[in-house]
Amino acid sequence: MLAVIILSIAGGALLASAAAKAASAWRGRLVWPDPSLAGVPIPAGAVAAGEAVVAFSLIFSTPRISAIALAACYALLSIAAWHLRGQICGCFGAALSAVGPGHIAGTIVACLGCIAFAAAGPGTWVLSGPWRAGVLLAAAAVVSGAVAIYARHKRRGEELLWDPSQYGAAAQMLILTRSDCPHCAALRQLFNGVIGDRWLRWQDEAQAPATLRTKCGNAVPCGFVIDAGGKSLAGPVMSSAEISQLAEVMLAGASNDRSDG
């Protein structure tokens, strides 16, 4: 029973992560750091599908095979986390935090735990398939709930982000980009001819102030609303959808400010 619970927690985290990526992509708010393997970009859909397949192996495979699959998956996630350290984590679809020591340690511990169960764990399940499915889904729901609580806590300090009244006529949108970022190029194309240079400024991420780069976690595109002196009034926001939405809110606030004046 202990094997079922522990492996289900590891699998539930993967299933929750896959579901979150799919939901964020459907809403147009997926934040993805564009990892690569041997120079080949790895799309979020491929990662989400792989996570889901490995998680469901708990229902259709033996404990040892499931543990090996989970160990291999978490080994890959550990390698990815190490290479993406300092960047915004897209594990659960949204820009919740930067990849740090805790993130890397968590994937390594999960990998080692699954290896231990693969080597010494039971050869058969004590629960039938439907019961294992229920435990897996329950674990995924708990992980998703914990992520939602963290995200809600994180948003408490960002409640004014979408309030047009806080942006005056001097406000401007600043978007940090990189030349090798396909999402940045798509965002430039989206804004081309729609928002004038008076309201929108692009800046290479390497030339941006260190304080802004830190807030972005080295992820691009990354948007801020700044005042005439370059001070950040709001942000960062890191999905193309939220950057577009923030630009509209900023323009609405600037328009209202001009009308009041």
Q: What is the CATH number of the domain that holds 213?
A: 3.40.30.10
CA distances from 28 to 51, 188, 243 (A): 20, 17, 11
Give me 84's structure tokens.
């993406």
Q: Are residues 71 and 102 in the same domain?
A: yes
Q: Are residues 196 and 115 in the same domain?
A: no
Other Cβ atoms less than 10 A from the Cβ of 137: the count is: 16
Q: Are residues 12 and 141 in the same domain?
A: yes
More confident residue, 257 or 134: 134
Which structural domain range is residue 195 located in?
163-260
pLDDT at 55: 92
Q: pLDDT tens for residues 168-184? A: 656 788 999 998 888 88
Q: pLDDT tens for residues 180-223? A: 888 888 888 888 877 777 788 899 998 988 888 888 877 888 88
Other Cβ atoms less than 10 A from the Cβ of 158: the count is: 12
What total number of domains does the chain contain? Answer: 2
Q: Are residues 68 and 139 in the same domain?
A: yes
More confident residue, 207 or 34: 207
* Non-local CB neighbours of 80 within 8 Å, separated by 6+ positions: 35
Q: 0.85 exceeded by the pTM?
A: no
pLDDT at 157: 47
The mean predicted confidence, pLDDT, of the chain is: 79
* Bond prior to 236 in cis (omega within 30° of 0): yes
Examine the fold and report which residue of 157, 173, 191 is the final residue of a domain before the chain moves on.
Answer: 157
Q: Are residues 143 and 180 in the same domain?
A: no
